[in-house]
Each structure stands twice: as structure tokens, then as C-alpha cells.
Chains A and B, each alone.
Chain A
Amino acid sequence: MPYMQSSRKKLFLVRKLSKGVYIIGSGEAKYGELWDRSLREIAVEAGLKAVESAGIRTKDLGAIYMGNSLGGDISMQEHLSALMSDHAGIASEFVPSVRVEASTASGAAAFREAYLGIKSGEYEIAMVGGAEKMTELYGSEIIDITSSIIDREWEAFTGATPAALAAISARKYMADFNVPREILAHISVNDHANASLNENAHFRNKISLEQALNATPIAEPLNLMDCAPLSDGASSLILASENYVKEHGIEGVKIMGSAMSQGEFALHSRKSLYTVEPTRIAAETALKQAGIGIKDISMVEIHDSYSIYGLMALEDLGFAKKGNAREIVENGIGIDGNLPVNPSGGLKAKGFPYGASGVGQIVEAYNQLKNKAGKRQVKNARYAMTHSQAGSGAASIVHILGVE
């Protein structure tokens, strides 16, 4: 039996290792406030659309990976992998199915597990689903529930919320690098402009810089327009091995790099309030795997659940030095800009269904690389980077996709 040595110098038994892993189909249920649709409905819709787009049948699936963050608390429903599999009519195929949870990066984590499952040689085809219903509850209870993505005992207990922690990072960042609120607002303005071209987006309206700056405060210095909304939504992708793609003559999009890094859980435990070290490490690793440099990236989908996280991500991913993300923003982040950022509309405007977003970002990258993004098509898109962050930056997952 052949053995291979990994970069971490541990021995792995290798059988039938798949050289490459490809995305061969995508599907999405519209993001938004979907009052008349249930969690199972949107998850099944996205999944079946992906199956259809890949030109396979559900019986071809080797495994299903479901990304979901808060289903237990919001919908009082765990075991979404079983729910999804059954209601997509796959139960009779007895396909292995598991839910992956990494808070707001759950979708990207599920995608990465599917990638690893195929790369290991265990599966030829896998489905990834990301689904979340954020709007099932009324009142401020949802703020407490979304605070499960930060340290419950030592952050949320004291009154911290995800927005509050982002605001604490923002204030420090703005003070240390003398960055005005306008730069943060640009991230949201760009998201809305792009989302206006995306029919699956939660918000289709453009916003002005002035609107972004003068919205209701949420956690100062951040206001409503700095914060991604509570959205329902589901996204799905079909992944296949290199053998499968070659045998069937499918032109997939290659997953060139996939990396995850995990750091300190609580913001107060980190050395810096505005550096997400896991993002830096995951990006560096993914680029190395892909064998390309940061300048080769044609477009990036970043995890801008809060505008400040958008700036921090641009720096930690390697597009700018710490404190200099404003240069990227000022050089143009629109679809025709120097670095197209969030052509999908991003978390702020496409919407932020926690467990779906990480998959949704890759759906966008896939469509862009397949030249199927319509009005928001990035010209000559060759390499796309996607970045999903868990909570206030406890973990990050970076993927690089490319067309050959």
C-alpha cells in the first residue's frame, strides 16, 4: 500500500486518492425573510437545484454534508442532515449524511469536509448543503441566540453580542490606523450595489454612502448598515472526484486550495483585536496549495458580517498590509474594480443565513468562474477566493477555486 507524507509530517494511509476535487453543480434558494417557507423546504430546494444543475441523480451521491449553525436554538431542530436527506427523497438510498457546525463558518466547514471526503477517495460525488432560518423568532431573543457563536460564559454572559464585539474591534482599528467610518461604509455600499444585480439576494436596493453613515446605531461605532441582516436562505453544491469529472467529460471548477485554521475563541484572548490570525494562516496555506499568489486572485468573497470584518479580512487574507485595507477599497472593489469584492452582494446585502453563507460564497465563485454570473459577471475571472469566518474570528476557512 502506498503511503504519503503530509505537510504536518504525519503518516496517512492512502487508497485511491483523488488528485483533484471539482464542483460540478450549484443550487440556491433565495435569501431573505422567507416567512412562508420552512427550514426543510429551503434546504431541499437548494439541494435539488444543485443535483439538477450537476446533471446527476440523488442515487449517485456518496455523502451529504449539511452546514447549519443555530437550527437547534432557532428552529428547535437538530440533525438537519437527516431532515434534508429524507425530505429531498434520498432516504431510500441510505446515503451517509452528517451536519457540520462551526458557527458562522458552518457552510464552508461542510464544504471542506465534502472536499476532504472526495479527496480521500472515499466518495466520488458528495453534496454540500448550507441552510439557516434566522427569522423564526420575534423580539430580542434572537440576539441572545446568535450570541452562542461567541463565548457564552465569558462574553455573552456579560452582555457581549456578535455586533458588540465587532464594534470593539472597529473602534480600536479606527483609532490605531486613523480610519474614518466612510471606509467601513464603502464595504456595505459595494455589497448593496452588487446585490442589486443578484436575484437571490436578500436586499436588492442600492444604498448611498450617506445612508450607510447615518443609519440607526447598533453597537457604536457600527450602525445598521455596517451589520449583515438576519436572513433565511439555503445554498448547495455538488462536488465530484477528478475520475468522475474525466469519465463523464464534465467541465467543473477545481478546488485548488482548502484550508481552515482555528485560534482563540474569545476576542479578549487574542493578541490583537483586529487581526484574525486564522484568516492569515488559512489564506497563506490555501494559496500555497493552489500554487498561486494573492495578486492572481480575480475576485474574492469575504465574510463581512460586519463592515469592519470586511476590512480586517482584506488585510488578513493578504490583499493589503494591516491597517491599509482602505487602499484596496479606494482602488475599487466593485465588479469592474481593481479587486472585485463580494460580487454576490456579500453577507451585508446578499444576506447572512449563518450556516448557508459559507456555501453561498462558493456558489457565487463557481458561477463567476463558469461565466454564468449574468449582470454581475467579473471579467476574465480565473481564480476566486472565498473566506468564511466563525464568530468574531475564532476560526477561518479559505478556499481557492479555479478554471484551467
Chain B
Amino acid sequence: MGELSRMWREMPSRYRMEGRKCENCSRVYFPPRDICPVCHRDSIGKMKPVDIAGNGEIISYTVVHETPPAFIRQKPYVLAIIKLDEGPMITGQIVDSEPEEIKMGSRVKSVFRRISEDGKSGVIHYGYKFTLDK
């Protein structure tokens, strides 16, 4: 009862934050999109892979106390919406910091972490989280 292909196909974006750039308007999207919501049909075939550096700023955040099973050892954890330097906003955890250290406007950088796993014998899912960039 594991999840393989669903996780595997997202690896370029989860592992190294590969986004998409609309070559019609130059806007960058992360998570990746196949169609630019600004250019619509003019973007078909023009959404090219682009690497996101993983640096950005916290727009808002929460300290999560009621967590799904995957995150129970990290409880409470900080979850934030981050504005990446390339433009898009994304959701991600802020790790290795106490909640008191987090502020709206704090600079963050991406790190590679374990996100969840399919039980003790299943596949481990890795992806991006963030740490404060001091």
C-alpha cells in the first residue's frame, strides 16, 4: 500500500526545486505549472524548466500543534508561506529554529530533508524545507 509513482514523478521539484518559466512573459512558477495563468494558450509549449535557488522571505507562518502522523516527532513545527526571490510563493516548514525565532519577513534558505515515509518498510519521501538564513 505504498506510493511510488506519485512521489517519484515530482522529484525534480521536491529535491531541487525545479520550477517552470513562461517564455512568453518570463514569469516563474513554483510549484511547476504546465500553463501560465497569465498567458493562457500563448504559453503552450513555452513552459520551460527553471532552477529555483531556494532563498526567500517569510510572509506569514503558524506553529502547528495538531499534526498529521508524518510530522508527529517534530511537533510543534513551524509552517510558513514563503515568497521566493524568483517571485512565486510556496508553503514549507521552517526547521532547526524555535518558534520564537521566526518572524514575518525573516530570510530563509531551502534545505533537503526527509518529509515522510510509507511506514517502516516503505519508500522515504524527501523534499525541501527551510531554515532561517542568518
Given A157-B127, A158-B79, A267-B81, A164:B69 Cβ within 8 A: no
- Judged by a CB distance under 8 angstroms, whether A153 is at the interface is yes
Q: How far is the CA of A167 from the CA of B61 in the complex (A)?
A: 8
- Judged by a CB distance under 8 angstroms, whether B104 is at the interface is yes
- Judged by a CB distance under 8 angstroms, whether B118 is at the interface is no
Contacts of B90 in A (CB 8 A): 154, 268
What secondary structure prevails in chain A residues at the interface with B?
helix
Contacts of A158 in B (CB 8 A): 79, 91-93, 115, 127, 129
Q: Which of A115-123, A139-147, A177-185, A376-384 lies on the face that meets chain B? A: A139-147
| Interface pair B70/A144, CB less than 8 Å apart | yes
B74-99 toward A: CB 8 Å interface, digit per residue (1/0)? 00110111000000111111000001
| Interface pair B67/A161, CB less than 8 Å apart | yes
What secondary structure prevails in chain B residues at the interface with A?
strand
Q: Which of A22-30, A168-176, A297-305, A326-334 lies on the face that meets chain B? A: A168-176
| Interface pair A159/B71, CB less than 8 Å apart | yes
Q: How far is the CA of A218 from the CA of B90 in the complex (A)?
A: 22
| Interface pair A161/B68, CB less than 8 Å apart | yes
| Interface pair B31/A160, CB less than 8 Å apart | no
| Interface pair B62/A171, CB less than 8 Å apart | yes
| Interface pair A159/B68, CB less than 8 Å apart | yes
Q: How far is the CA of A308 from the CA of B91 in the complex (A)?
A: 19
B94-134 toward A: CB 8 Å interface, digit per residue (1/0)? 00000100001000000000011000000001010100000
Q: Which of B14, B65, B79, B115 contacts A168 (CB 8 A)?
A: B79
Contacts of B6 in A (CB 8 A): 153
| Interface pair B60/A172, CB less than 8 Å apart | yes
Given A154-B91, A157-B127, A175-B104, A141:B69 Cβ within 8 A: yes
| Interface pair B65/A140, CB less than 8 Å apart | no
| Interface pair A266/B63, CB less than 8 Å apart | no
Contacts of A216 in B (CB 8 A): 65
Residue of A nearest to B90 (CB): A268
- Judged by a CB distance under 8 angstroms, whether A220 is at the interface is yes
| Interface pair B62/A155, CB less than 8 Å apart | no
Contacts of B70 in A (CB 8 A): 144, 159
Residue of B nearest to A222 (CB): B62
Contacts of B72 in A (CB 8 A): 140
Q: What distance in Å separates the Cβ of B96 from its nearest Cβ neighbour in chain A?
A: 15
Interface centre among B67, B76, B104 (most CB of A within 10 A): B67
Q: How far is the CA of A97 from the CA of B67 in the complex (A)?
A: 37
Chain A, range 198-226, C-beta contacts under 8 Å to B:
216-222
- Judged by a CB distance under 8 angstroms, whether B35 is at the interface is no
Residue of B nearest to A145 (CB): B68
Residue of A nearest to B62 (CB): A167
| Interface pair B68/A219, CB less than 8 Å apart | no
Contacts of B125 in A (CB 8 A): 157
Q: What distance in Å separates the Cβ of A40 from its nearest Cβ neighbour in chain B?
A: 26
A124-152 toward B: CB 8 Å interface, digit per residue (1/0)? 00000000000000011101100100000
- Judged by a CB distance under 8 angstroms, whether A189 is at the interface is no
- Judged by a CB distance under 8 angstroms, whether A273 is at the interface is yes
Given A157-B127, A158-B92, A268:B81 Cβ within 8 A: yes
| Interface pair A273/B93, CB less than 8 Å apart | no
| Interface pair A169/B60, CB less than 8 Å apart | yes
| Interface pair B77/A220, CB less than 8 Å apart | no
Q: What distance in Å separates the Cβ of A70 from its nearest Cβ neighbour in chain B?
A: 14
Chain B, range 23-46, C-beta contacts under 8 Å to A:
31
- Judged by a CB distance under 8 angstroms, whether A269 is at the interface is yes
Q: What distance in Å separates the Cβ of B77 from its nearest Cβ neighbour in chain A?
A: 6
Interface centre among A140, A219, A222, A268 (most CB of B within 10 A): A268
Contacts of B99 in A (CB 8 A): 220
Interface residues, chain A, CB within 8 Å of chain B? 139-141, 143-144, 147, 153-161, 163-165, 167-172, 175, 216-222, 266-269, 273
Interface residues, chain B, CB within 8 Å of chain A? 6, 10, 14, 31, 59-72, 76-77, 79-81, 88-93, 99, 104, 115-116, 125, 127, 129
List 19 additional contacts besides A140-B69, A169-B60; criterion CB under 8 Å: A139-B69, A140-B66, A143-B68, A144-B68, A154-B31, A158-B115, A160-B91, A161-B68, A164-B79, A168-B62, A168-B79, A168-B81, A175-B60, A219-B65, A220-B76, A268-B89, A268-B91, A269-B89, A273-B81
- Between A and B, 23 residue pairs with Cβ closer than 8 Å are A140-B69, A140-B72, A143-B66, A144-B70, A147-B68, A153-B10, A156-B68, A157-B14, A158-B93, A158-B127, A160-B79, A161-B64, A161-B67, A164-B64, A164-B79, A167-B62, A168-B62, A171-B61, A217-B65, A219-B63, A219-B66, A267-B81, A268-B91
The 4 closest A-B pairs by CB, nearest first: A167-B62, A144-B68, A172-B60, A220-B63
